[in-house]
Amino acid sequence: MSTQRWRFSVHNPGVQNSDAQMSSGPTNAVARAQEIAESILFPAALETDRSDLLPVSNLDALADAGLYGLFGPSAVGGLESDLQSAGAVVEALASGCLTTALVWLQHHGIVGSLLFGPDELRDQWMADLCDGTRRSGIVFAGLLPGPSSLIARPIESGWTIDGDAPWVSGWGRIDTLQIAARGPDDTVVTVAIDDLDDPSISATRHRLAALDASGTVRLRFDSLDVPEGRVLSVVPHEPEASGGLSLRLNGSLALGVVRRCCELIGPSPLDDDLARARIQLDEAGADEMAAARANASALAVRATAQLLVRTGSRSIEIDNHAQRLAREAMFLLVFGSRPAIKESLIDLL
């Protein structure tokens, strides 16, 4: 991989560059994520949690560190991270601020799709996606099992999209959107757009008990026309095969919550539980990933419950991390879920 210079956000002047920090690669990306989590994200996590929308400076710090290019090609400044290293980066960031980690994580779907997408769009967007100049969200309604709430129909110039996307995070902090809608003959049509002010798109804000600052909205598409050059793929709908990568990395979000509980509690049996859950995610095959993801989410519930009890009555004060982490664990029980995950969670809980 190539070597690229990087820096932390100017919003944290106490963190200084060094020759060691400037090297690139998945291993160094984990160190960058850990430093950002401890020096920027965690100290501000309670304030972020109470914000109407997460501070853009949180995301700027990740861009400055090159982490928007986690899966991008090295030729344009990406880190070409392997899945295990990427999981470690997600876990570290989630231990600092789950809200920030979630919004940032949604970005990476379009990077992967563009690797196999149209050459012209890849040439136009990939470098900006990898350095965080362009920041993306994702609509995955067309990937879910059963009838879809989002439909794509072919038109002469490309495709038109109609319907609802119930859960889209990062609204107000993204400028690009990857949309997976159900197409004819049970296909999935994936497109990319960057005019989020298009009048055919309307957003309704969700108010959430946890991660409310993620800017999560319900999007309505009323005949959104997408030209053929913005089509990333048209593939058969295979709900059982979809989401392997996202399931693994979503599991790391839960591990990040557990990790923060372990650090706040101090040495305890939770440390070994965290290590085992991480190994289970790393070693899970396609048929085992849902159970591994469920185990990570269930562990987050147990870890936050232990933190609440150990902290005592102070834990329910609004300026205490225990209550924030407990609400985040609640969020992770239902975020990005699938029937197999739900079944495993019911058995575990």
What span, in angstroms and rounded, lies between the C-alpha atoms of 240 and 225? 29
| Amino acid 182: pLDDT | 97
Of 69-73, 85-89, 140-144, 181-185, the least confident: 140-144
pLDDT tens column, 224-274: 999 999 999 999 998 776 456 778 999 999 999 999 999 999 999 999 999
pLDDT grade for 210, boundaries at 50, 70 and 90 = very high
Of the chain, the percentage scoring pLDDT greater than 70 comes to 91
| Amino acid 24: pLDDT | 56
Q: In CATH, what is the architecture of 136-236?
A: Beta Barrel (2.40)
* Per-residue three-class SS string for 203-238: EEECCCCCCHHHCCEEEEEEEEEEEHHHEEEEEECC
Task: Name 84's Cβ contacts closer than 8 Å, sequence gap at least 6.
Answer: 282
pLDDT tens column, 77-115: 999 999 999 999 999 999 999 999 999 999 999 999 999
| Amino acid 298: pLDDT | 98
| Amino acid 12: pLDDT | 32
Q: Give the chain's end-to-end CA distance (angstroms, integer).
A: 44
Which of residues 2 and 23 earns the better pLDDT score? 23
Q: DSSP strand E in 132-214: where? A: 136-139, 150-155, 158-168, 176-183, 187-193, 201-205
Q: Which residues pair with 231 in a beta bridge?
A: 191
pLDDT at 5 over 50: no
Considering the entire predicted model, what is its pTM? 0.90
pLDDT grade for 339, boundaries at 50, 70 and 90 = confident
Instruction: Name the fold adopted by 19-105.
Output: Butyryl-Coa Dehydrogenase, subunit A; domain 1 (1.10.540)
Of the chain, the percentage scoring pLDDT greater than 90 comes to 84
Of 6-20, 112-126, 159-173, the least confident: 6-20
pLDDT tens column, 25-42: 667 999 999 999 999 999
Reading the block at residue 157, the tokens are 């110039």
Strand pairing class (176-183; 136-139): parallel
| Amino acid 244: pLDDT | 65
| C-alpha distances out from residue 59 to 54, 95, 167, 246, Å | 9, 15, 20, 20
Reading the block at residue 25, the tokens are 């690669």
Q: Where are the domains of the chain?
A: 19-105, 136-236, 244-348
> Could you tell me how many residues make up the chain?
349
pLDDT, the chain, mean: 91
pLDDT at 145 over 90: no
pLDDT at 294 over 80: yes
Instruction: Give the mean pLDDT of 324-340.
Output: 94
pLDDT at 338 over 70: yes
